[in-house]
Amino acid sequence: MEETLKSFGITAQQSGVSTGKHWLAGGGPVITSSSPVDGKVIAAVKSASKEDYDAVVATAQEAFKIWRQWPAPRRGEVVRQIGEALRKHKHDLGRLVSYEMGKSLQEGFGEVQEMIDICDFAVGLSRQLHGLTMHSERPGHRMYEQWHPLGITGIISAFNFPVAVWSWNSMLAWICGNVCIWKPSEKTPVTALACQRIVEAVFAANDVPEGVCCLLTGGRDAGEWLAADHRVPLLSATGSTRMGKAVSAAVGARLGRSILELGGNNAIIISEHADLDMSLIGAVFGAVGTAGQRCTSTRRLIIHEKVYDQFIARLVKAYGQLRIGNPLDENNHVGPLIDRDAVLAYQQSIEAVRKQGGTFLVEGGVLEGPEYSSGCYVKPCIAAVENIYDIVQHETFAPILYVMKYQTLTEAIHMQNDVPQGLSSAIMTLNLREAEQFLAAAGSDCGIANVNIGTSGAEIGGAFGGEKETGGGRESGSDAWKAYMRRQTNTINYSTKLPLAQGIKFDL
Ligand code: UN1
């Protein structure tokens, strides 16, 4: 890994605050990043002080004055080059993601691929920031709308997708003409340093002004500075519902804008008409992929009573075949949890499941032995539960899968919706009526609803996000870009009169 760090110019003692050109001293507390893979320290990163923060914001404000005037396709060309650079660094960055975060190497590469994909998407979009034209009710008038850059976009990202979620936000924000200040998770600052280096090189080669791409390593304080700061018109935050509520309240108090992408409690309904082979892969990958630490991870399976026993038998067998261990070894399916706190939360949830009446069909537990010396490796487990249990209503960021039975699809949809979160959902069925019922207005209440696909692994082309306690924000594809711009309605009078709207007469 040392070589990988060196290739990104990352040292063992490193500042984590950058304006895109200069690295500030980093006067805040030192954040030590250690790998959940083997418990070793990767780097000690100096975080931002309030003075660093103010310096970064001041630089970003100046940069915005210039960057907003670059034509959007020219900004897109810079993002195209970032995509090229990411292609070159895919292997190294993917490995670093895997090592610092603990997801499997395949998924580390997949994460970098998402970044490349959003770059490509943003390049095309840079020529398609379309507004509408309207017909004015007045003669000799033209009405249309334009989308203008907004200003500083703050990005708070989570440890589980330490680089991809930043890229969804920043690539769109940049082509939209905004400047970005990124506060990465304090659990994964090193991958953020690597991304910053990659972007800095591309920006330098294109004479992009200093301050368009800022990195602000820090803890909760740094997030609070961004949330309270009226100089930051938009704050996009990914993380827990608790964090999102605090961000939303602080940004809302100053009538700023936020994009929130918070917790999920995602279910797959497995119908009696499902292809069970397909359902098995979807369910297992959804539940154990990234060790259950995606916001889209499958937390609940709602299974038709006619196929319940058969499917559970296959599921239990599949869990028996899972290989848990070093995620950099491609033979392993499941890596570690992010840290020991996460292990504790996993253990507490298992305890709560038992207390509330759940029965384990596959037992969990913390793995021990030299290969698991970081103390972060746990066994994916399965519990038969009732949807209404308090613990089932919560998102535990760990590979704990809840299973439950249903009789009618209406009942299954009710269970699927009957949780506080509303991110991702899926139905496995070959029956057209069932699929359409699931997707209809009275069907899934989630931001993402899939048929014959699991809950995780969304493509970047669609808008990503969810309802209720998931926060309501949308990032990534479709027209999510609109949240990063301000809309302006323009009415132009090219007649020789000044007729008033609504037929009002006002003669002097
Ligand atoms: C997240 O877990 O915060 O759909 C993002 C997925 C990934 C992104 C997950 N494309 O699972």
Note the pLDDT tens digit of each residue in 38-67. 999 999 999 999 999 999 999 999 999 999
Residues of the chain with pLDDT > 70, as a percent, come to 100
242-269 b/e with 16+ CB inside 10 Å = b?
A: ebbebbbebbeeeebbbbbbbbbbbbbb
State whether the beta carbon of 455 lies less than 6 angstroms from ligand 1.
no
The CATH architecture assigned to 2-262+471-488 reads: 3-Layer(aba) Sandwich (3.40)
Q: Given this chain, do its domains 2-262+471-488 and 266-451 carry the same CATH topology? A: no
Q: Which of 186, 200, 210, 261 is catalytic?
A: 261
| 265-321 pLDDT tens trace | 999 999 999 999 999 999 999 999 999 999 999 999 999 999 999 999 999 999 999
266-451 topology per CATH:
Aldehyde Dehydrogenase; Chain A, domain 2 (3.40.309)
Give the ligand 1 atom nearest the CA of 264: 2
Amino acid, res. 282 = G
Residue 404: predicted pLDDT: 98
| 445-492 pLDDT tens trace | 999 999 999 999 999 999 999 999 999 999 999 999 999 999 999 999
| 355-370 pLDDT tens trace | 999 999 999 999 999 9
Q: Tell me the pLDDT of the chain averaged across its residues.
A: 98
Could you tell me which of 293, 296, 260, 265 has the C-alpha nearest to residue 480? 260
Cα(136) to centroid(ligand 1), Å: 43
Residue 249: predicted pLDDT: 98
Distance CA 83, CA 76 (A): 10
Residue 401: predicted pLDDT: 98
Residue 80: predicted pLDDT: 99
Residue 390: predicted pLDDT: 98
Beta bridge partners of 167: none
Determine if the pTM surpasses 0.90.
yes
Distance CA 200, CA 379 (A): 40
Domain extent listing, the chain: 2-262+471-488, 266-451
**Under 8 Å between Cβ of 427 and 269:** yes
Alpha carbon nearest to ligand 1 atom 3, residue: 295
Task: Tell me the residue ranges of DSSP E strands in 381-423.
Answer: 381-384, 400-406, 421-422
Residue 65: predicted pLDDT: 98
State whether the beta carbon of 161 lies less than 6 angstroms from ligand 1.
yes
Residue 213: predicted pLDDT: 98
Give the ligand 1 atom nearest the CA of 456: 11
Query: Cα 503 to chain center, whole Å?
Result: 49
For the question of residue 261 being annotated catalytic, the response is yes
Cα(153) to centroid(ligand 1), Å: 21
State whether the beta carbon of 423 lies less than 6 angstroms from ligand 1.
no
Task: Tell me the residue ranges of DSSP E strands in 305-393.
Answer: 359-362, 381-384
